[in-house]
Structure formats: structure tokens, C-alpha cells
Structure 1
Amino acid sequence: MTIIYLIRHGETDWNAMERIQGQTDIPLNETGKRQAAASASHLKTADWDVMITSPLARTKETAEIINAELNLPLYEMENFVERGFGQAEGMTLADRAAIFPDRIYPGQEEWADLTRRVLDGLAEIRQNFPDRNVLLVSHGGVINALLSELSNGEIGSGKTKLTNASISHIHFQEEQWLIRDFNRTDHLLSVEPQ
């Protein structure tokens, strides 16, 4: 059985300001670094085979902080880069509501394209790491797209707000991906915001 723990990257300054990041490459802030360290402490109690990360700075930094404790082979996969939000990137929720009340952002990556690439990434993980325990550090939009697709829309995008450095757990069993749990944050209780 292939097991994947989906880890949302730690907090950035844009997260703290509720600015939509998309593919804008924003680094972790100090809270995000502490969240990544708390995730590492939590994850080192289990056996993992490999770590995969999106190539954006906030995910790579989260992965590197975690991997300093775990010492796993680390791979980057473009499939798991955050959704592009076009002209809305950098805007706060209030800005987006005022300028784009229909939530259609010019230049935004289409939902079908996002789900296709993340599902292709899952298939690639399953092919390259069958029956392995995988850590995947990615983004809220990507993880929510996966959760939505795997739950037939019951959870995920539009329904679930994922906390920075939260952990979701999926596994491949009997020829299908199943969600074991999502948005786990108990490992972050000791992390104080900046």
C-alpha cells in the first residue's frame, strides 16, 4: 500500500496578511520555520521512504527543515506547484472581493488543468514509489484539489481551509486513493504565531 502524507508548507508573510500567493515565490516567515520544525518532530516518529516537494521556496524550505531530521531522498515535482491565480496573486481577500466579486481571476489556471496535473503527479508517485511511505510538501490549493477530487467534492476546495503545516493522509488501497484524515494540526499546538 502506498501511503502519502500531504504537508502544507509553513506560514509566509503573505499567509499572515491573507494575501493569495499562487505561484508567486514567497519564503517562509519565522512562524513558518517553527511550524516546519514542529512537523519534523512529529514525523520522525514513523518510517518514511522518500520526500517530494513543490519547487517553490516556501515548500522547499519546509521540506528541507523537515528533512534535516529525517534525512530522506528529496525530489522536486512540478506537478505539485501551487495553482496560478493570475491577476489576483498578491491581493488580500478584501481586494479580491472588491475587484473580482465573481472570483474569476484573469490569468488563473483552470480547475481542470490543476486537477489533471496533480492527479498525474499522484500516478507518477504510485508508479515510482509503489508500497512506499511518502511525504509530499505542497500547497493549500493543490492539497485541497486532491482532497476534493478523492472525496467527490465532499471535502477540499471551497469546503476546507487548510492550516499552514497541516498534515493530511491518503493511501492507495484496492486500486483507489482513500483519504484517511485531513488538516491535522495537533503537532502545531506549541507553535506561537509571530
Structure 2
Amino acid sequence: MITITIVRHGESIGNVQQRWQGHTNSPLTNFGAQQAEQAGEALKHERFTSVITSDLIRTISTAELILSRNISFSTNPIKLYSEIRLREQHFGYFEDKSNTLPVKYALTSPDRRLIKFVGEGAESLEDVFNRAMSFLSDLLSYYQQQQKINSQQKDFSFHQGHPHILIVSHSIFINEILNALLIHKTILRNQQQWQFIPLHNTSIFTIKIHTFNDHEQEPLHVEIIKNNYIEHLRGLVRQQGGIGSAIYDPKQKKISSFFQKKQQSSIRNDSQNEGLGDPMDED
């Protein structure tokens, strides 16, 4: 069995500015970092064996923040891998431009696959789907081969510690990898198409693939455990005064927490002395 948990990145500066981010390297906001930490809380008991992100900073930072809350990672750290195929759709001319007008049409069009972006590097949804299919095929082939090797060597540790892969990517790519998962010939007998859904930042999907087979025509049994899960976002409030929408800086956060601890210590000392009165009051 193999488990794949897929998470969309936290809110980015491009999200706040309502831009077509695509391949633009847009960092998280402070609120996006909070979302990622909450996703980490929701996933803190999971034992991830691999972590794969796109090579863009908003997914890498999200993965790091998720792992910062993970109990297993604190004792058994694992390396993060960046994969260019996990990038968001490239929007060509619209890259890093306002999405106010195009996005309204894109999300309400009866067939999003008819939307064609233009300009250098522009991708269609079919292009993104092909990237997703290529990545998924390589991923499953790797673990299929690993299982075969371990079986031949009578090494059953692979079966005892089932692989659990954390993938952090982007909204459109996630929709397309789910689409690829549904129509991949080794997974389902009947071809289906995933219906595109807009995703909240840090939406979580968890999929269990229960069997591997040597014959490609034999389908795999797939079970969706979490489907667009966002319970971890309930009650989360954006910091006021523009702080929540500012660029997330992990170094700044460490400095802030240092001064916060100093302030809390001062408050505790004041509260301990409260009610004792000023020694000069007796005069």
C-alpha cells in the first residue's frame, strides 16, 4: 500500500494581489504561513517517508511549515525534494498579471479545457495534465519497482513501513494530478474525469493505493481518505493592520517570538508583584 497526501500551498502574495502566479516565484504571506502551520497540526501524526514539492518558494515554505509541526519529522527528519513538473500552469502573457477579469471566466466556463492562454511558455490544461501524468507514472513505477526488488531480496521492511508521500503543489496542478489518478490505466478500469474544483489554500487530499501489481492492465484499488479537507482553517483569523497580508519571513518570525517571550516574561513578573504594593506607600 502507498499513501499520498496532497496539499495546496498556503496563501501567497500573488493570491492577495489577485495575480495569475503560474511559474512566478511568489512567497507566502504571514497568513499563508499560519494556514500551513494549521495544516501541519492536522497532519502532525502522519509518518511521511518522502516530501515532494514544486520548485517554487510558496510550496517549499508550506512543506517546511507542515513538517515543523510533525511529530515523526522532529525525531526522523527527511529530505525535501523539489520537482519542476509539480509547478502550476504557466499562463503565458498573463503571468504575474491581474487575474480579476480572466479568472471570473475561467472558473465559470462550462469547459475549462477550451481556455487557451497565449504568449511564451503558455500551457493548456492538457499540458498540465500531461506533466501530472508523467510525474504520477514515474512515482508509481518507482515504488512498484522498489516493491519487486525488496520481494526478491526477501526484505519485507518495505511492506511493514508503507510509504507515505507528502506532495505540496498548486491548485490547477492538484486538480490535474487527481484527474490523472482517476484515468491512469493502472488505477481504474473505467475512465473517469476529475471535475475541476477551486481549492482553498492548504486544502488537503489523502489517497491510499492498496495494491501494486506487475501487470500494467491490472487496476489498483484507490481510496480517498480526505477530499478537499479544510477543517484546520476553521477559526483562523488574519492578523490585522496589514500584517497578515505581508510577506512571510521566517527570520522575522524568530525575532518576533523572541521579543514576545521577553514581553510575556515581563508580564509574568509584573503579575507576580501585583498586589504587593509599592514599598514607599507606607510612608
Q: Same fold (TM over 0.5)?
A: yes
1:73 Cα offset (Å): 2.6
Contact 1:54 1:81 in 2 (8 A): yes
Match of 1:187 among 221, 225, 232: 232
Map 1:1-194 → 2, pairs under 5 A: 1-69=1-69, 70=73, 71-96=77-102, 103-107=115-119, 108-129=122-143, 131-151=162-182, 152-156=192-196, 160-174=197-211, 175-176=219-220, 178=222, 180=224, 181-193=226-238, 194=244
1:187 Cα offset (Å): 1.3
Q: Percent identity?
A: 29
Write the distance in 2 (CA, Å) between the matches of 1:57 and 1:10.
11
TM (norm. structure 1) is: 0.86
Closer, same or farther: CA 154–76 of 1 in aligned 2, 3 Å: closer
RMSD of Structure 2 on Structure 1 (CA): 2.5
How many residues get paired?
A: 191
Determine which structure has greater relative contact order: mean sequence separation of CA pairs < 8 Å that are 6+ residues apart, divided by chain length: 1
1:121 Cα offset (Å): 1.1
Contact 1:22 1:89 in 2 (8 A): yes
Gap runs ≥5 in structure 2: 145-161, 183-191, 212-218, 239-243, 245-283
Write the distance in 1 (CA, Å) between the matches of 2:131 and 2:103.
28
Write the distance in 2 (CA, Å) between the matches of 1:142 and 1:177.
23
TM (norm. structure 2) is: 0.61
Amino acid at match of 1:76: S
Write the distance in 2 (CA, Å) between the matches of 1:29 and 1:170.
28
Q: Deviations over 1:110-145 (max 9, x none)?
A: 333221211121122223345411100001011011
Write the distance in 1 (CA, Å) between the matches of 2:62 and 2:96.
21
1:50 Cα offset (Å): 1.3
Structure ID, larger Rg: 2
Amino acid at match of 1:111: L
Structure (1/2) with the larger helix percentage: 2
